[in-house]
Amino acid sequence: MIKEKEYVKRRSALVKKLKRHSITILLSAKAQQRSNDTEYPYRQNSNFYYMCGFKEDNAALVIVKKDKNSKTYLFVQKKDELLELWTGKRLGKKEAKAIFNVDAVFTMDKFDKQITELFKDKLSLYFDFTMKDERVDQLRELGSNLLCHYNISHKVGELRLCKSNAEITLIKKALSITKEAHHLAMSKAKNLNSEDELQAEIEYVFKKRGAYSDAYTSIVACGNNANTLHYIKNDEKLQNNKLILIDAGCEYDYYASDITRTIPVNGKFTQAQKELYSMILSVEKEIIRMVKAGVMRTDLHTKSEELLCEGLISLGILKGDVKKLIKKKKLKKYYPHGIGHWMGLDVHDTGPYKDTKGKEIPLLAGMVMTVEPGIYIPEDDTSVPKRFRGIGIRIEDDILVTKDACENLSNEIFKEIEDIESL
């Protein structure tokens, strides 16, 4: 759990990035309609949550910076017994003021009046104008006479790049649950009939162990289905002698995990599966060894391309010179995605990959990123030896960057062939 003093520290760090005589507005996520009068389970906007930890909808966080001083205001939905009868208890103004270390708490019915007053004498507005909220036009109009508008998402994203110890603890907790889920999948796959049955076993563990939800829609792809990168139908039969690509991770107290393992349905890899899997695993391990502060993410990706291309040549799947095959995008047919992405409050964390001048941001101690090389060979690709056709393999771990090396936070989740087969 993130303590209140950490949210205060985050806001102080944000204030240092803001212009003087500015107003910053962060809105909560809106409840999303599922169908007719039903809604999806509510999940708070990540940037809003990062800056204050408030989990209810219909809320706003406002930061006003004058010269050197700043004031923080939290707007919350007022207490309403009838509404709470249907949707659950609300903190309300009084309890929110007792919990959250802000200068003042107002109810949202006072937002229009208060925000108009707070806009007076300001020169700059920080806001995310891409949000789908009825207040966007109002804020745009109020800010029309200001000198500058800035995207607050980029500023908050910069802060989110490096995780605190408390954040890393939550990610580790999410991974401990995800570990249990993947190991259960490895042990049960051969006794189940379909992809969705396997998905149910995985997500049962998430719920049972207290995870908020899955961090993203689980991918459980058997055989050739693994060659669709974002396959989420998960409704086909499990086939003997085929592999299952499982990309599934839970979210614990808003923090994500993101793990992919590829396992044999019947518990034993065929020779062709073993050869391709071993090659990809060796590449993943080599890239993880390269991760440390100061390294460029693009260099990790470039190295993964070289190693995977060499591996495919050695297996007879590609023919030719490594550099030429990569330049002509022959490898991209089988390795179409990047080596990894930032991870945190969002499974694909919104932290920037380049600074405001367009220069790539190097890896920094405290960043968490995925490393996930993969090879995907469609079953109708007659240019490839028949024994490899219809195989899709990805191996993905969550890596914490440290000053001189890195820590594989998901290292305990089995990925060695003998360990997977032992389950």
pLDDT of residue 37: 87
Based on the fold, state whether residues 214 and 359 are members of the same structural domain: yes
Classified as helix, coil or strand, 49 is: helix
Residue 337: active-site member: yes
Of 10, 341, 389, 398, catalytic: 341
- For the question of residue 341 being annotated catalytic, the response is yes
80 is catalytic: no
- Report the pLDDT value the prediction gives residue 138, as an integer from 0 to 100: 86
Which residues in the chain show pLDDT less than 50?
A: none
Of the candidates 128, 203, 214, 247, the residue annotated as catalytic is 247
pTM of the predicted structure, to 2 decimals:
0.96
Q: How far apart are CA 61 and CA 111, in angstroms?
A: 11
Let me know whether 173 and 156 are in one domain.
no
Told to judge if 128 belongs to the known catalytic residues of this protein, a careful annotator would answer no
Burial class (CB in 10 A: 0-12, 13-18, 19+), 340: buried
Q: 247 catalytic, yes or no?
A: yes
Of 376, 389, 397, 398, the catalytic one is 376
Alpha carbon distance 107, 91 (integer Å): 11
Among residues 128, 214, 372, 397, the one annotated as catalytic is: 372
Q: Give residue 283's pLDDT.
A: 98
**Catalytic, out of 182, 389, 394, 398:** 394
Note whether 179 and 203 are same-domain residues: yes
Catalytic residue among 128, 251, 258, 284: 258
Domains in the chain, number: 2
Q: pLDDT tens, 183-210?
A: 999 999 999 999 999 999 999 999 999 9
51 and 170 belong to one structural domain? no
| CATH number of residue 147's parent domain | 3.40.350.10
Query: Do 131 and 202 reside in the same domain of the chain?
Result: no
Q: Are residues 313 and 411 in the same domain?
A: yes
Annotated active-site residue in 37, 117, 121, 134: 37
Tell me the CATH number at 244: 3.90.230.10
| Active-site position among 348, 379, 381, 421 | 348
Quick one: how far is CA 254 from the chain centroid? 10
CA atoms of 156 and 352, how far apart (whole Å): 10
Q: In terms of domains, do 316 and 363 share one?
A: yes
CB distance 313 to 320 below 8 Å: yes
Which of 203, 305, 349, 396 is catalytic? The answer is 396
Q: What are 243's strand-pairing partners?
A: 264
Question: Are residues 129 and 171 both part of a single domain?
Answer: no
Which string of DSSP letters, residue by residue, matches 275-298?
A: HHHHHHHHHHHHHHHH--TT--HH
For residue 18, the enclosing domain spans: 4-160
Query: 160, 187, 218: which is the final residue of a domain?
Result: 160
Q: Do 40 and 72 reside in the same domain of the chain? A: yes
Is there a catalytic annotation at residue 389?
Answer: no
Residues 71 and 214 placed together within one structural domain of the fold: no
149 is catalytic: no
Last residue within a domain, chosen from 125, 160, 195? 160
Domain boundary among 130, 160, 190: 160
Q: What angle do CA 403, 409, 411 make, to 5 degrees?
A: 120
Do 250 and 334 lie in one domain? The reply is yes
- 58 with 117, same domain: the answer is yes
